[in-house]
Structure 1
Amino acid sequence: MSNLNNTDRELRHFRNRIMALAVLVLFCFFLLLLRFVWLQVVRHSNYVAQAEENRISIVPTMPSRGIITDRNGVVLANNYSAYTLEITPAKIEGKVDEVIDELSLFIDITSRDRKRFRRRMEETKRFESIVLKSKLTDEEVARFIVQRYRFPGVEVQARMFRQYPLGEVAAHAIGYIGRISQKDIDRLPEEEETNYQGTTHYGKEGIEKSYERVLHGVTGYEEMEVSASGRAVRTLSTRSTVPGNNLVLSIDIELQRVVEEAFGKRRGALIAMDPATGEILAYVSKPAFNPNLFVDGIDQQNWDELNTSINRPLINRPVRGAYPPGSTYKPFMALAALELGYRTPRAAISDPGYFLYGNHRFRDDKVGGHGIVDMYKSIVQSCDTYYYILASEMGVDTMHDFMKQFGFGEQTGIDLPHERKGILPSTEWKRNAYRNPNQKKWYAGETISLGIGQGYNTFTPLQLAYATALLVSNGSAARPHLVKEIEDGVTHERKPVVTETVRLELKQENIEVVKRAMAGVVKEGTAARVFGGAGYVSGGKTGTAQVIGIGKNEKYNAVALAEHKRDHALYTAFAPVDNPKIVIALIVENAGFGASAAAPIARKAMDYFFLGKKPVSEGSTRGVPEPDDYPEGPDEVLQPILTPAIPEEENTEEE
């Protein structure tokens, strides 16, 4: 009996403890419920606001783009800071157009700004903010700061802008940057895309394009706590930017100015280079353009003026313009004849003033001919007949195989985009170039005009300069390049840019024959009047290249032709003769004879290079006829000049 009572008592105590524990648990749950009600109901709106107002944002910070200078430290491209008015459309309450209308009440927002903003909204959706207006004045910044509370999602930002202090000078070499597009992003390697987050500009042409990743730098970031309106609350973490590397170009900007002034209003191109290093000393393409127009998006009016101009200022002529080389090709033909055993230096022909091939007469520029002509005289007096005969004997494929080693018909590898190959014709080239079976065939008569740099021959001024460098430097020259040194943006340590040196297997005695004749061109030949009294010994070759063919029994008359159908003037030069430090190749479009239009520009360039002389008056070009206004543009001059399969007659006006 006693045991039963004890068991009942223990059960009652156990039940009491369970009840107490249950009451405690229920009380705790009740407290939790009260807390949940307090947080979720009573304080709901408060905490929602706090949650919405505080967010984590990764904000890219743009590196400073590298500076570009010439070889002497003259700044060609730099950066400056300015304020921009930017809108983040996702943070705008209401319509974006309405916000812009309100902003325009105290900030001058033009129709161009509006159009550009709409275009950027379509093209740059990946960016957090879009620039509405660039380069705000201090007064405009102050006005906005006062009114900023009214415009969530609108901010004033300090950004770096690109500037080209010299405007049109060396514009085609330097190039320009412009607004980054989705196409630019798509072309980036996958590992580079992160580095371009937040980037607004990208190299579009010239050195700015080919060295884009060198100039860009490394993008940094700030991990920030920001309010719903986009205002920073605090910085959580940062990664510093690394500025882009600087570029030192090989161009001497003063030499560049001298040449550009010598061209005046004329169209054309000039390359001056050091054959030993491949450094480009002057890179001229005329007419030029102002690269500053493109930095923030070129307006329609300026674009139409540049893009539709008959003078085609946007064409980068040294690497994109393909022209017949004219008589500047003759020294290479002479060297080929010596190397391949077709001629000796003393072997001579009798020039009657033409070369008869079948029933077709290829005329020399000199009526009655040059008389007895050996190799020296053929170059000094630029005798066409000598090279008509030589081309006929050698054949197109033999010429092609020899000339190819000089870089004709091949890209030089210069550090610029869009370089053309030009055309070094051969029978194989023609078979591949045409679809019509009749056009695929090579006719023997087509070979004749190749000997004087006409026919299918079309090369860029850069190719002509590089080939000349190989010739006059005894078969050895470095490939051309524009960047001389790359300077680290942080340490400022400089690393030189070195390119491949090409060496040709040529006989020195044959090279000397050709160089002596090119020196004779300056001493007693077609360029003697231009280089008289020069304080240095140079060699050269004048050239005049046809743009259109002249029919049978017709004589070339420049006055009777439209300006863009007139002959091109060319000149190649080097100095000193024994150890060349500079090689020049230039063309003046539709300017006539190389001796009167092109050689004087080379003289001015060399006078400055060797003697430090500058033109007496700005824009003067002594010895060069005054240019016309050129009412008609060179529609054909940058395209290959194709001759009929067997021309009835060639009429080439020479020096």
Structure 2
Amino acid sequence: MASRLNFRSLYTQAETQSFRLRVFVLGLVVLLLFALLAYRLSVLQVQRYAAFSERAESNRTAVVPIVPNRGRIVDRNGIVLATNYSAYTLEITRSQVEDLEATIQAISEIVPISARDRRQFKRLMADSKSFESIPLRSRLTDEEVARFTAQRWRFPGVDVKARLFRTYPLGEVAGHVVGYIGRINTKEQELIDESDDAANYRGTEVIGKLGIEQSYEKQLHGQTGWEQLETTAGGFAVRRLNSRDAIPGDTLVLSLDVGLQKLVEDLFGERRGALVAIDPRNGEVLAMVSKPGYDINLFIGGIDQENWDLLNTSIDRPLLNRALRGTYPPGSTYKPFMGLAGLESGKRKIDTTIQDNGSWTFGGHTFRSGHPNGPTNLRRSIIKSSNVYYYMLANDMGVDLIHDYLSPMGFGRPTGIDLEGESPGVLPSMQWKRNTYKRPEQKRWYAGETISLGIGQGYNHFTMLQLAYATAMLANRGVQHQPHLGLGRIDAVTRQYHALPQPPGLSLGYKPENIEAVREATQAVTVEGTARGIFAGAPYTSAGKTGTAQAVTIGQKERYNAAKLAERQRDHSLYIAYAPADQPEIALAVIVENAGFGATAATPIARRVFDYWLLGHYPSEQDLAASRQGLARTPIGTPRRAADMLNHYERISVPGLSPRAIPWVPPAAAAKAPPAPAPEEVAQDGAAED
């Protein structure tokens, strides 16, 4: 009995100890769990307080970007080339619309929706997200807005919004220069997201696509603002907590003179070609014409397929900026620069005389030259456009020496103008040919290929911008100024004008006697050479050189006959010039495609450009009509005041910048000038050129 009691006592003690152990372990577990809970609370409420507080705040608030107004673009006299206007748009947010097609069809019964609107809407859908608001119809009238608003309740996800629209008041005028804006595509968005300006483009839907709109995007875009809004759980705004106003883009002032630009475009008419005019004293581009052009307003909001096909498939290639990207053989306009290279390289002296018998034979091959010029030195070679002189000079220099002396003048390399997409052209060298062609026999440079380079043919291909750049250098006695279109900006906040910085002029180090010899010869071209008929009676002096460049190769034993060639196979007409001859204010290069001799098509355009810039003359209607048809020689009829032709353009005041005072010289002096030579005589002079 006693043993049984002892056993029970021991058993009870063991159970009690086991229970106490379980209670102790359970207590430890509970304490551990409370410790973990306390630690977690510490992490959430202390260590990560700031992050969660910010997240909670972001759920309560939303930051909405305020897109700035895009800056305007004006010419040197304040004439508006690009601006903005406010209009209503009908927009759809696809994520809030159940049946998109049915919704659009129902809307079209209230507000007209054209087939073009539908096509553009579908195109925009491809480049946007479902929660973004996409315009279905733009520029609604007040009546259309009222009709839709009355039935707004029927269309969830559809709303009327006020937007700013870009507009180009002058349409085609300077279209290639101004460029246009367009909706940001996926590739552009990726580049923006990777740039330092990503935050500044939040909410922005359009960007500069071409021309000045593209090159000066940063200045024109402005500074994006923002609004901080308190929102409900459903995302609806309750009140504004904070904000920062957007800063509009600056107004960009271009060096272009719209009056001159419009004049040149009118002078071309339906003909194809390009002209670039530069102030040789500072590199300001005064006119940059490419014909044919196109209305850049077509690209606002996205061009429709029909107009795109018309522009993109046209044989006249209106989308090509011929002044910037079109390359052509320069023909005889190259000769003054070749002559200068010959003098500077020591291969010729100013008084070196060769015998021009009308042709030159090299390696058993005869190179034609029009008609004989007899004993010919540098001056006569430019005045009479002697091919033989430059055949021999090119052979003496060789292709690589020609390249080395012509490249610094601006040939075969970008000028650095403030437009993207400039073509470098082709100034050939032996290395260029080795890099360009694949087969061994093509890589080799043949001596005969050098000969045609001297007269601006062969592999030579340059833009009118490069040719005008070199002409401006010649006019400025060997000092180059980088060509530029951006002249200054008007600060959107202070309204003050600030000139855009430009690099200083660069002297090419030519000997004064050499460059003056070439300048004197080019001046004589307008008095006793191939341009004398066009500049007869001009009350100012000018210098120039005509050129005729082959569009297709003509055999050496064949004679050029324009009547037997298709229009697009005929020679191009070129002219380079500057004026006044002693103290030049303007230099230019012009080409009229497939128009024949330089003296009959390109030179008359240059004459009217100088009359506008130096005399304030705008051609009479009779003279303009003749020019458009390629029938102009010296000006006919009574010229109009150039200043009067600008009165109908919208203009703004540019603080700190005085608009150019267009001169006016009465045309009476022209009536006393000697008569111009007969057209046959001019054409005969032109025939000397290849």
TM-score range (shorter-chain normalised) is: 0.7 to 0.9
SS of 1:535's partner is: coil
SS of 2:582's partner is: coil
Confirm whether residue 359 of structure 1 aligns to residue 364 of structure 2. Answer: yes
In structure 2, the CA distance between the partners of 1:227 and 1:586, relative to structure 1 (3 Å rule), is farther
Aligned positions of 1:97-496 closer than 5 A:
97-125=101-129, 128-188=132-192, 189-225=194-230, 232-366=237-371, 369-496=372-499
Structure 1 stretch 160-169 or stretch 223-232: which is displaced more? Answer: 223-232
SS of 1:301's partner is: helix
2:95 corresponds to which residue?
A: 90
In structure 2, C-alpha distance between the alignment counterparts of 1:227 and 1:155, rounded to whole Å: 21
- Asked if structure 2 preserves the Cα contact closer than 8 Å seen for 1:178 and 1:297, the reply is yes
2:502 corresponds to which residue?
A: 499
In structure 2, the CA distance between the partners of 1:228 and 1:70, relative to structure 1 (3 Å rule), is farther
> How far 1:497 moved relative to its partner?
1.9
In structure 2, the CA distance between the partners of 1:230 and 1:592, relative to structure 1 (3 Å rule), is farther
In structure 2, C-alpha distance between the alignment counterparts of 1:281 and 1:111, rounded to whole Å: 41
> How far 1:296 moved relative to its partner?
1.6
SS of 2:169's partner is: coil
> How far 1:385 moved relative to its partner?
0.7
Tell me the TM-score normalised to structure 1 length: 0.85
In structure 2, C-alpha distance between the alignment counterparts of 1:339 and 1:263, rounded to whole Å: 37
Aligned length, in residue pairs? 577
In structure 2, the CA distance between the partners of 1:521 and 1:429, relative to structure 1 (3 Å rule), is same
In structure 1, C-alpha distance between the alignment counterparts of 2:128 and 2:349, rounded to whole Å: 66
- Asked if structure 2 preserves the Cα contact closer than 8 Å seen for 1:335 and 1:514, the reply is yes
In structure 1, C-alpha distance between the alignment counterparts of 2:613 and 2:387, rounded to whole Å: 32
In structure 2, C-alpha distance between the alignment counterparts of 1:335 and 1:101, rounded to whole Å: 71
> How far 1:626 moved relative to its partner?
3.8
SS of 2:83's partner is: strand
In structure 2, C-alpha distance between the alignment counterparts of 1:116 and 1:56, rounded to whole Å: 34
SS of 2:156's partner is: coil
1:654 corresponds to which residue?
A: 689
- Asked if structure 2 preserves the Cα contact closer than 8 Å seen for 1:71 and 1:249, the reply is yes
In structure 2, C-alpha distance between the alignment counterparts of 1:83 and 1:496, rounded to whole Å: 36
Tell me the TM-score normalised to structure 2 length: 0.81
In structure 2, C-alpha distance between the alignment counterparts of 1:314 and 1:619, rounded to whole Å: 28
Runs of 4+ in 1 over 6 A off after TM superposition: 227-231
Aligned positions of 1:560-575 closer than 5 A:
560-575=564-579
**Over residues 588-645 of structure 1, what are the superposed CA-to-partner deviations in whole Å (9 max), with x where a residue is unaligned?**
1111000110000000000000000001117726577548xxxxxxxxxxxxxxxxxx
- Asked if structure 2 preserves the Cα contact closer than 8 Å seen for 1:248 and 1:485, the reply is yes
Confirm whether residue 81 of structure 1 aligns to residue 109 of structure 2. Answer: no
- Give structure 1 stretches of 5+ with no counterpart: 1-53, 628-650
Letter in 1 for 2:405: F
1:634 corresponds to which residue?
A: none
Letter in 1 for 2:95: A
In structure 2, C-alpha distance between the alignment counterparts of 1:508 and 1:239, rounded to whole Å: 59
In structure 1, C-alpha distance between the alignment counterparts of 2:492 and 2:105, rounded to whole Å: 42
Percentage of pairs with the same residue? 55
Structure 1 stretch 491-500 or stretch 200-209: which is displaced more? Answer: 491-500
**Over residues 10-53 of structure 1, what are the superposed CA-to-partner deviations in whole Å (9 max), with x where a residue is unaligned?**
xxxxxxxxxxxxxxxxxxxxxxxxxxxxxxxxxxxxxxxxxxxx
**Over residues 351-395 of structure 1, what are the superposed CA-to-partner deviations in whole Å (9 max), with x where a residue is unaligned?**
1110101211100022xx111111111000101011001111110
In structure 2, the CA distance between the partners of 1:503 and 1:146, relative to structure 1 (3 Å rule), is same
- Asked if structure 1 preserves the Cα contact closer than 8 Å seen for 2:480 and 2:508, the reply is no
In structure 1, C-alpha distance between the alignment counterparts of 2:92 and 2:629, rounded to whole Å: 55
Letter in 1 for 2:435: N
- Asked if structure 2 preserves the Cα contact closer than 8 Å seen for 1:407 and 1:466, the reply is yes
SS of 1:167's partner is: coil
- Give structure 2 stretches of 5+ with no counterpart: 1-58, 632-685
Letter in 2 for 1:59: V
**Over residues 425-458 of structure 1, what are the superposed CA-to-partner deviations in whole Å (9 max), with x where a residue is unaligned?**
0001101011111000000000000000000000
> How far 1:102 moved relative to its partner?
2.1
- Asked if structure 2 preserves the Cα contact closer than 8 Å seen for 1:600 and 1:621, the reply is no
Structure 1 stretch 545-554 or stretch 217-226: which is displaced more? Answer: 217-226
- Asked if structure 2 preserves the Cα contact closer than 8 Å seen for 1:544 and 1:653, the reply is no
In structure 2, the CA distance between the partners of 1:301 and 1:259, relative to structure 1 (3 Å rule), is same
> How far 1:90 moved relative to its partner?
2.0
- Asked if structure 1 preserves the Cα contact closer than 8 Å seen for 2:63 and 2:228, the reply is yes
Letter in 1 for 2:334: Y
Letter in 2 for 1:602: A
In structure 1, C-alpha distance between the alignment counterparts of 2:101 and 2:65, rounded to whole Å: 27
In structure 2, the CA distance between the partners of 1:255 and 1:351, relative to structure 1 (3 Å rule), is same
RMSD: 2.0
> How far 1:236 moved relative to its partner?
2.8
In structure 2, the CA distance between the partners of 1:626 and 1:519, relative to structure 1 (3 Å rule), is closer
